[in-house]
Amino acid sequence: MNLDSLYAALRTPDFLAQGACVRQDATLWDDDDRAKSAVAKAICGTCPVQRSCAEWAQANEIAGIWGGIDTATRNKGRRGKFTTMEQRRENAEWLSDVLSKKPAIELAAKYGRTERTIYRWREIAQRDDYGLAS
């Protein structure tokens, strides 16, 4: 963790006060224990600020489970190693992009895919919703 990410971690955003994790055992979100991580991810799945939380953690490289996504998954997303739809679904940046109003041609260039693929991703993301709409 560098100083920028430490600073970001110390300055937690206001939306976290609305999180489903408030007043829960914080060690559940450490992502060093599979059983505890599963509980944390299930709680994140019910959280009204899940999307904001996932995007914030992705942008600030915060360690632990945030928005239902663990550190390893976020790091894989940063390295662009996602190849399956299942892996992409867990990537906050991808999901945010696909559900945004950014032009398909822009996202096609970013992800190295055709515009047609972007439209397909968008259709799948909007249909499945992933429980992230809030």
Q: Closer to ligand SF4 by CB, 77 or 107: give it.
A: 77
CB of 50 to ligand SF4, least distance (A): 4
Positions touching ligand SF4 (CB under 6 A) are: 16, 19-21, 29, 43-44, 47, 49-50, 53, 66-68
Q: Which run of H or E residues covers position 122? A: helix 115-128
Residue closer to ligand SF4 (CB basis): 60 or 117: 60
> 26: which DSSP letter?
G
The number of CA neighbours under 13 Å toward the Cβ of 89 is: 13
> Of the two residues 8 and 47, which places its CB atom closer to ligand SF4 in the complex?
47
| Angstrom distance (rounded) from CA 119 to CA 55 | 22
